Amino acid sequence: MKDAAPVRQPVPSDRIAVIEGSREREHLPTVVVDDPQDLAVLLAERVVEIVKRETAAKGRCVLGLATGSTPIGIYQELIRRHLAGEIDFSQVITFNLDEYYPMSPYSIHSYRLYMMENLFAHVNLDPRNIHLPDGSVARRDLEAHCRAYEQAVRDAGGLDFQILGIGRSGHIGFNEPGSSPDSRTRLITLDTITRRDAAADFFGEDNVPLEAITMGIASIMDAKEIALIATGEHKAQIVRRAVEGEVSQDVTATYLQQHAEATVYLDLAAAGELTRIKTPWVLESVEWTPGMTEDAVVWLAEKTDKAILKLTARDYRENYLSPLLNKYASAGEVNGEVFNRLRDKIRGRARLPRGQKVLVFSPHPDDDVISMGGILRKLWENDNEIVVAYMTSGNIAVFDHDVERHLDFIVRAAPSLGLKQAQIQEVRREIEAGFHSKQPGDVDSERVQGLKRFIRESEAVSAIAALGLPRSAARFLNLPFYRTGEVRKRPIGDDDVEIVLELLRGFRPDMVFAAGDLSDPHGTHRLCKAAIDRALEPYEGDPQIWLYRGAWEEWSITQADVLVPLSQEELRKKVLAIFKHQSQKDVAAFPGGYDDREFWQRVESRNLDTAAQADRLGLAEYYAMEAYRIE
Confidence of residue 341 (pLDDT cuts 50, 70, 90): very high
Q: What does the pLDDT average to over 216-244?
A: 96
For residue 155, CA distances in Å to 96, 127, 216 come to 15, 17, 17
pLDDT at 1: 32
CA torsion 148→150→155→158, rounded to 10°? Answer: 160
DSSP category for residue 180: -
Highest mean pLDDT among 10-19, 121-130, 394-403, 585-594: 121-130
- Find the angle CA(57)-CA(59)-CA(62) to the nearest 5 degrees: 95
Q: What does the pLDDT average to over 256-262?
A: 98
DSSP labels for 225-258? Answer: SEEEEE-SGGGHHHHHHHHHSPPBTTBGGGGGGG
Q: What does the pLDDT average to over 183-188?
A: 98
Is 112:99 a contact under the CB 8 Å cutoff?
yes
Residues 401 and 203: their CA atoms lie apart, in Å, by 14
410 C-beta neighbours (distance < 10 Å), count = 16
The beta-strand segments (E) located in 365-415 are 385-390
Q: What does the pLDDT average to over 399-423?
A: 93
For residue 524, CA distances in Å to 394, 408, 414, 481, 594 come to 10, 31, 37, 10, 17
- Find the angle CA(431)-CA(432)-CA(433) to the nearest 5 degrees: 90
Q: pLDDT, tens digit, for every residue of 553-582?
A: 899 999 999 999 999 999 999 999 999 999
Give me the numbers of helices (H) and strands (E) for the chain, helices first please. Answer: 20, 17
Q: What does the pLDDT average to over 304-319?
A: 98
Residues 490 and 528: their CA atoms lie apart, in Å, by 12
Q: pLDDT, tens digit, for every residue of 107-148?
A: 988 999 999 999 999 999 999 999 999 999 999 999 999 999
pLDDT at 488: 73
Helix ranges (DSSP H) in 156-223: 192-197, 217-221
Phi, psi of 379 (to 5 degrees): -65, -35
380, HSE (Cβ side, Cα atoms, 13 Å): 18
CA torsion 280→286→289→295, rounded to 10°? Answer: 20
Helix, strand, or coil (residue 568): helix
> Side chain identity at 117, as an amino acid letter?
E
Residues 224 and 230: their CA atoms lie apart, in Å, by 20
Q: pLDDT, tens digit, for every residue of 500-511?
A: 999 999 999 999
Residues 37 and 338: their CA atoms lie apart, in Å, by 34
Q: What is the CA radius of gyration of the chain?
A: 26
Phi, psi of 214 (to 5 degrees): -140, 145
pLDDT top residue among 290 and 491: 290
> Side chain identity at 622, as an amino acid letter?
Y
Helix, strand, or coil (residue 32): strand
Put the strands of the sheet holding 186-189 in their side by side order.
98-101, 211-214, 186-189
Q: Which residues lie below 8 Å from residue 18, measured CB to CB, with a gap of 6+?
A: 31, 32, 33
Q: What does the pLDDT average to over 24-29?
A: 97
pLDDT at 5: 34
Q: What does the pLDDT average to over 590-597?
A: 65
Instruction: For residue 527, give the nearest of 499, 547, 501, 497 by alpha carbon.
Output: 497
Residues 298 and 281: their CA atoms lie apart, in Å, by 13
Average pLDDT of the residues of the chain? 93
Phi, psi of 485 (to 5 degrees): 75, 0
Phi, psi of 25 (to 5 degrees): -100, 5
List, in sequence order, every residue forming a beta bridge with 630; answer none if it has no partner: 546
pLDDT at 144: 98
Burial class (CB in 10 A: 0-12, 13-18, 19+), 592: buried
Q: pLDDT, tens digit, for every residue of 357-410?
A: 999 999 999 999 999 999 999 999 999 999 999 999 999 999 999 999 999 999
Tell me what percent of the residues of the chain surpass a pLDDT of 90.
Answer: 84
Q: Is the peptide bond before 102 cis (omega within 30 degrees of 0)?
A: yes
Q: Which residues lie below 8 Å from residue 534, measured CB to CB, with a gap of 6+?
A: 8, 492, 497, 500
Catalytic site residues? 176
Tell me what percent of the residues of the chain surpass a pLDDT of 70.
Answer: 96
For residue 249, CA distances in Å to 164, 176, 238, 254 come to 17, 9, 14, 8
Residue 344 has pLDDT above 60, yes or no: yes
Three-class HEC string of 507-561: HCCCEEEEECCCCCCCCHHHHHHHHHHHHHCCCCCCCEEEEECCCCCCCCCCCCC
pLDDT at 588: 66
pLDDT at 13: 66
pLDDT at 232: 87
pLDDT at 4: 36
pLDDT at 365: 96
403, HSE (Cβ side, Cα atoms, 13 Å): 25
Q: What does the pLDDT average to over 39-59?
A: 97
Comparing 240-244, 394-398, 521-525, 620-624, the range with the smallest average pLDDT is 521-525
Put the strands of the sheet holding 61-65 in their side by side order.
30-33, 262-267, 226-230, 161-164, 61-65, 92-96, 130-131
pLDDT at 593: 52
Q: pLDDT, tens digit, for every residue of 138-179?
A: 999 999 999 999 999 999 999 999 999 999 999 999 999 999
- Counting every residue written for the chain, the total comes to 631
CA torsion 445→448→454→459, rounded to 10°? Answer: -120
Greatest Cα pair distance, the chain, in angstroms, is: 84
CA 248 to chain centre: 27
> Side chain identity at 375, as an amino acid letter?
I
Residues 131 and 151: their CA atoms lie apart, in Å, by 12
21: region left, alpha or beta (phi > 0 left; psi from -120 to 50 alpha): left
